[in-house]
Structure 1
Amino acid sequence: MQITLMKGKIDRASVTETDLHHEGSISIDRELLDAAGFLIGERVEVHNIDTGARFTTYLVEAPRASGTVDLNGAAARVAAPGDRITVVAYATFEEAEAKLFKPRVVLVGRENRALRS
């Protein structure tokens, strides 16, 4: 049996910019991507804490230590700069592996810096 679990999440990041005319995706600071164990191009769900909106997109790398969390393309219509979001990735595991797996959770503070992971 295969089980899908949360692989990791970036919790309470603030949207820094939206660009409707950019290719669709979410651009996130490389430090946050590394802390969460996310890969470039990985599919993620984005949950807008302020509005309740949820959508799926893929990850694009933003410069390390930039604090960037930008929504691009159609996602730019689902949140505004300053909105707080949670970005979640999932992975599929065999049952035995799932019982041992520990997800990476990155809590984000001011200027989109990791408070803890």
Structure 2
Amino acid sequence: KQTLQSIQKGATVAYGDISQLTKPLDASKGFFFTPIILENIPKDAKAYSEELFGPVFSFFKFRNDQEAIDLANSSKYGLAGTVFSRNMSRAESIAFDLESGSVSIND
């Protein structure tokens, strides 16, 4: 529901098949859906402010590190976070500033 709501609000699907989310679940086939990557997520979409459980990745672009940190820390949940970077010292600095239960780097 969160993924579909986010798309209805204007998020775009960069990867994945959302048709699987609109079909009734068939327990005999298991509860599985393929990974989805969302981008261009508006601030009023659930994918912007809620943690999504399942293979859904919310992709955000930032002008600078502080903008990314501010968005991550604005979440009221903060169970886990991940920092991806080629520069390990930069990644560690960002990870240190995140208010999250756990933070991984490049994982």
TM-score grouping bracket, smaller chain normalisation: under 0.3
Q: TM-score, normalised by structure 2?
A: 0.28
Higher strand share: 1
Structure with a larger share of its residues in helix:
2
TM-score in terms of structure 1 length: 0.26
Larger Rg: 2
Q: Which has the higher contact order (CA 8 A, sep 6+)?
A: 1
